[in-house]
Amino acid sequence: MFKSIKNISPTSFILSFLFIFQLSTYPQISEQPNTIIQKYDEVTLFNTEKRMLHSEIVNDDFEIYISLPYLYATTDTTYPVLFCLDANIKFGLISTVINTQGTLMKEIPEIIVVGIAYPMKGLEDWVIGRNRDLTPTKKSEHEQYWVDRLSKVTGRNDIVV
């Protein structure tokens, strides 16, 4: 028998929502290899900072997104931190839900959300970094899966990951 939604704690509901209904939005890809069409200004998330971090271990740069609680700058309160991998596609959703439920609704504690992302010119950059960092072993069938998938999404047949 399932629990009634009334019996689920707000924290459990939010975490379940984030894990089950993660929305992925992909940028529009141009005809030119490895470039994103930028028609309009980028969207900025409220109270969010972006920094760059270079890793000597993988010799690559990462974008670090930091979403701060609303009153962060005016208080000496310490906050828990939630780290978000795949931040290129998930950070906006996760930070917005966390901030809404923490700051506005007071359903969960206020949390600093830190997203770890890849500098991207195209989806291939995300796939290459993700495969390198989050796949336990390098296998040609994993790489071929992403080549096939990206080719379908972008309509291109020149993708190399």
Q: What is the tens place of the pLDDT at every residue in 3-57? A: 444 555 666 556 555 555 443 444 444 455 555 666 788 888 989 999 999 999 9
Distance between CA 159 and CA 103 in Å, rounded?
Answer: 43
For residue 69, the model assigns a pLDDT of 93
Structure tokens at 47: 């109270």
Q: Of 32, 14, 30, which Cα lies nearest the Cα of 22?
A: 14
Regarding pTM above 0.75, the answer is no
Query: What's the pLDDT tens digit per position in 56-84?
Result: 999 999 999 999 998 899 999 999 999 99
Q: What type of residue is 83?
A: F
* Domains in the chain: boundaries: 17-120
Contact indicator for 155, 30 with CB cutoff of 8 Å: no
Distance between CA 120 and CA 63 in Å, rounded?
Answer: 9
Strand order in 112-117's β-sheet?
Answer: 48-55, 60-67, 112-117, 81-84
Over 90: is that where the pLDDT of 136 sits?
Answer: no
Q: Of 157, 160, 118, 121, which Cα lies nearest the Cα of 35?
A: 121
CATH of 17-120, one of 3.90.1860.10, 1.25.40.20, 3.20.20.210, 3.40.50.1820: 3.40.50.1820
Query: What's the pLDDT tens digit per position in 79-104?
Result: 999 999 999 999 999 999 999 999 88
